Structure 1
Amino acid sequence: MTVDIRVVRAGQMYRYYLRETVVGDGRRPARTPLRAAQEQAGVPVGRWMGRGLAVLGLAPGGEVTEAQLRNRFGERGRHPDADRIEADRLAAGDSPKKAFKAGALGRRVTVTGVDFVFRPQPTIYLLWAFGDEETRRVIEAAHEYAIERVLEWIEDEVAVIRYGKDGVYRVRPPGGLVAARFRHYEARSGRPLLHDHLLLSVKGQRLENRRRLTPGSAKA
């Protein structure tokens, strides 16, 4: 298993991922909804991962929608369901400012995530590409297990939340982290290549039992 790492920033970087990564390694047709573009590209929908999902009221394995991606990675780290939260608060009589704040998760950040690209070793993905159906299923199951274990390791041993003046306090995020996983079957060249993009949010819950999340960091 090899892993490439790239920082994801709000703005142009996020828009690049939305156009050319979450729909497979090809350019997304203009004005095509996310799920339709994924179906056309022959890739599955993205799935949520991480222990931090419980804090946000999301379930592991749930589908990652375009609105959720925009809120979490494109809008400087808002709640994935910030649109619904804001609408509910407005309906309850909150001011627009208060309703918008309800969908925030701590202060806004420019770096919203880290893209971990997981690839099996060449001998493995070639066996996956040319093997029979059972072989492919076994390799994909092992591939997914490896991704899960790496994410658990990051949550338990690597991720650190900095808070307080000048980030003087550093703790492990007790609630875990949140990530969106996207499965691809081909490289940009068109050759068979099993790999996954894991967009890991850089925010995690503080030690206090609060819903608000604060910026963290994951170094691998």
Structure 2
Amino acid sequence: MGLHKLTAGDGYEYLTRQVAAADSTERGASSLADYYSEKGESPGRWAGAGLAGLGSVAAGQQVSEAQMKALFGEGLHPNADLMFELALAQGASQADAARSAKLGRAFKIDSGATAYRVACAEAFVAHNLARGQKWNAAIDDADRARIRTDVGSKMFAKEYGRAPADERELSGWVAKVGRQKTSAVAGFDLTFTPVKSVSALWAVAPREVSEQIEAAHESAIAAAVTYLEKHACFTRVGTGGVAQVDGNGLIAAQFTHRDSRAGDPNLHTHVAISNKVAATMPDGTTKWLALDGAALYRNNVPASEVYNTVLEAQLRERIGVRFTERASADRSKRPVREIDGMDERLAERWSSRSAAIKLRTAELARTFQADHGREPTAIEAISLAQQATLETRAAKHEPVSHADQRSGWRAEAIEILGSQKALSELVSSITAHTAAEATTDFDHAWVRETAERSLDIVSRKRSRFLRHNIRAEVVRQVRTFDPPAERIDALVEKVTDLACGDELSIDLSGAADTDPATDIAPDVMRRRDGADVHTRHESQLLT
């Protein structure tokens, strides 16, 4: 699961740019046939327990462009436009109508232009005046592009003391310095992507099987979001945010995409979590505040493992696949669990994007070594990988229908495997497994063994750790025993409790470091987990 911030203003637009047709408010309900035949991605849908605090937005409803602009662009209620008009129609003043759509403070957006944009604007004016035209006369697209390139090249050379290595390096730099300035965080984009073998099977399997894979993917995302609502849905109040209080659920907009920029099958879902969260105050009132982002980042890895584990369980139960570990080409990385029996040639064919990034990263590393006489450090290597990702990022292809995509992917698979029969036999062979008999009792002996193994693995990398570090490893360990989907959460918590308890771990927080007020705090100063609001959720340092 990837995680990055969404900035206020237009930071959300890449999520809605490829959505099929128009907004759902204008289109009405769509049929399954529409989903397969319309060009572009399927519209987003609302999710999260926090929707209950909005009143007029329900889970499963389609997300409109206007709603995304209101919530993620401006920090207002998703239906702000409608609420404003309704309030005016009922006789409210302009000010009162505007307040009716507020969710706490609106986002502060710095609309000031970047130095690059200012320089381009000045160059456009100079271009017109030099030709005896009005300062704001229209400029031909080709001339505007040339001016932007000239300005960018000069500014790049001034910053780095050299000319850009190539067009891609210049384009990447211009994209970075040309972004709108804003420090306001509108939300967080969580990207859930299954392993490559799952996307490959989803791309070539009969439609009814593909639909089951999508359903499993959605169930796994729901489990991860539920986990985050339990362990990462907080806000902070008081001077300096001294108190961490419970949020009343997350507000999320989910957008499922079908392919990579290279057009390869790549089932993945962006879950845009709003930075707005409602919290119930001690006096019973509700306030809209900002989500505690630190808790979200801290639980990024455990939530990712929850997604992977639930996805495997759902796919086992829905379509009868099995998973096995495959060693990673990078020895520093742990083995990846892929669908047993999936032909690796399909995954290789449909990994052109990652292959291009690896190739460019290697080229940049060789250039770095030649220029500096040494290999890049770990931090420098990450920077080179990020540069390679940007430089190899092709423009998003024109929208195509799901039906056309599936037809193309099946044709590619038949070409690789040799025949339609070979493809059918492959799909049948990896989805024909009946539910295996349970081989694990999940008794106390298993719980203790799994807790000790998890502690051992975490302790090799960390001399001190937090509960979420252990939980992430526990989820990985539980996954290898193929538990039923409905038992995963209970098993994980049972193992984590034992691993982090006094029997196997030492609490380094210590009585001397604990505020004595935590023992006598009244209920109104405690979170749902029972802890005093002046402590952070699961913040005990262990060893």
| TM-score for the superposition, normalised by structure 1 | 0.85
**CA–CA distance in 1 between the matches of 2:72 and 2:213?**
30
1:117 alignment counterpart: 191
2:58 alignment counterpart: 59
**CA–CA distance in 1 between the matches of 2:38 and 2:257?**
13
Q: Could you say which structure has the larger radius of gyration?
A: 2
Asked if structure 2 preserves the Cα contact closer than 8 Å seen for 1:55 and 1:211, the reply is: no
2:47 alignment counterpart: 49
Q: Give the counterpart letter for 2:241 in structure 1.
A: G
Question: Which of 272, 286, 303 is 1:199 aligned to?
Answer: 272
* Range with bigger deviation, 186-195 or 143-152: 186-195
- TM-aligned CA deviation for residue 16 of structure 1: 4.0
- Kindly indicate whether residue 45 of structure 2 is the aligned counterpart of residue 70 of structure 1: no
| Cα offsets for 1:175-212 (capped at 9, x unmatched) | 21110001111111111111111111112111234454
CA 133–182 in structure 1, closer or farther in 2 if over 3 Å, else same: same
Counterpart mapping for 1:73-112 below 5 A: 73-75=72-74, 77-109=75-107, 110-112=184-186
- TM-aligned CA deviation for residue 140 of structure 1: 0.9
**CA–CA distance in 2 between the matches of 1:156 and 1:6?**
20
RMSD of equivalent CA atoms: 2.1
Which structure shows the higher strand fraction? 1
Structure 2 portions without partners, runs of 5+: 28-34, 108-183, 301-543
**CA–CA distance in 1 between the matches of 2:218 and 2:230?**
18
2:263 alignment counterpart: 190
Structure 1 portions without partners, runs of 5+: 25-31
2:291 alignment counterpart: 216
1:169 alignment counterpart: 243
**CA–CA distance in 2 between the matches of 1:86 and 1:212?**
20
Q: Give the counterpart letter for 1:117 in structure 2.
A: T
CA 14–141 in structure 1, closer or farther in 2 if over 3 Å, else same: closer
Counterpart mapping for 1:118-137 below 5 A: 118-137=192-211
Asked if structure 2 preserves the Cα contact closer than 8 Å seen for 1:203 and 1:213, the reply is: yes
SS in 2 for 1:195: strand
Q: Give the counterpart letter for 2:277 in structure 1.
A: G
CA 19–44 in structure 1, closer or farther in 2 if over 3 Å, else same: closer
Q: Give the counterpart letter for 1:187 in structure 2.
A: S
Higher relative CO (Cα under 8 Å, sequence separation at least 6) belongs to 1
**CA–CA distance in 2 between the matches of 1:142 and 1:17?**
22
**CA–CA distance in 1 between the matches of 2:82 and 2:213?**
38
Q: Give the counterpart letter for 2:291 in structure 1.
A: G
Q: Percent identity?
A: 36
- Kindly indicate whether residue 141 of structure 2 is the aligned counterpart of residue 142 of structure 1: no
Asked if structure 2 preserves the Cα contact closer than 8 Å seen for 1:113 and 1:200, the reply is: yes
2:393 alignment counterpart: none
CA 78–210 in structure 1, closer or farther in 2 if over 3 Å, else same: farther
- TM-aligned CA deviation for residue 145 of structure 1: 0.6
Q: Give the counterpart letter for 1:207 in structure 2.
A: T
| Cα offsets for 1:65-107 (capped at 9, x unmatched) | 11111100011x1100111111122222222122111111011
| Cα offsets for 1:158-191 (capped at 9, x unmatched) | 1221122221221121x21110001111111111
**CA–CA distance in 2 between the matches of 1:210 and 1:115?**
29
SS in 2 for 1:41: coil
**CA–CA distance in 2 between the matches of 1:12 and 1:79?**
16
**CA–CA distance in 2 between the matches of 1:169 and 1:41?**
48
**CA–CA distance in 1 between the matches of 2:189 and 2:72?**
11
**CA–CA distance in 2 between the matches of 1:66 and 1:42?**
15
- TM-aligned CA deviation for residue 13 of structure 1: 2.1
Q: Give the counterpart letter for 1:108 in structure 2.
A: A
SS in 2 for 1:198: strand
**CA–CA distance in 2 between the matches of 1:111 and 1:203?**
10
Asked if structure 2 preserves the Cα contact closer than 8 Å seen for 1:156 and 1:172, the reply is: no
- TM-aligned CA deviation for residue 138 of structure 1: 1.9
SS in 2 for 1:13: coil
SS in 1 for 2:236: strand
Count the aligned residue pairs: 206
- TM-aligned CA deviation for residue 50 of structure 1: 0.4
- TM-aligned CA deviation for residue 5 of structure 1: 1.1
**CA–CA distance in 2 between the matches of 1:164 and 1:41?**
49
Q: Give the counterpart letter for 1:44 in structure 2.
A: S
**CA–CA distance in 1 between the matches of 2:199 and 2:285?**
43
* Range with bigger deviation, 10-19 or 186-195: 10-19
SS in 1 for 2:43: coil
SS in 2 for 1:180: strand
- TM-aligned CA deviation for residue 33 of structure 1: 4.1
CA 102–67 in structure 1, closer or farther in 2 if over 3 Å, else same: same
Asked if structure 2 preserves the Cα contact closer than 8 Å seen for 1:50 and 1:179, the reply is: yes
Q: Give the counterpart letter for 1:196 in structure 2.
A: T
| TM-score for the superposition, normalised by structure 2 | 0.36
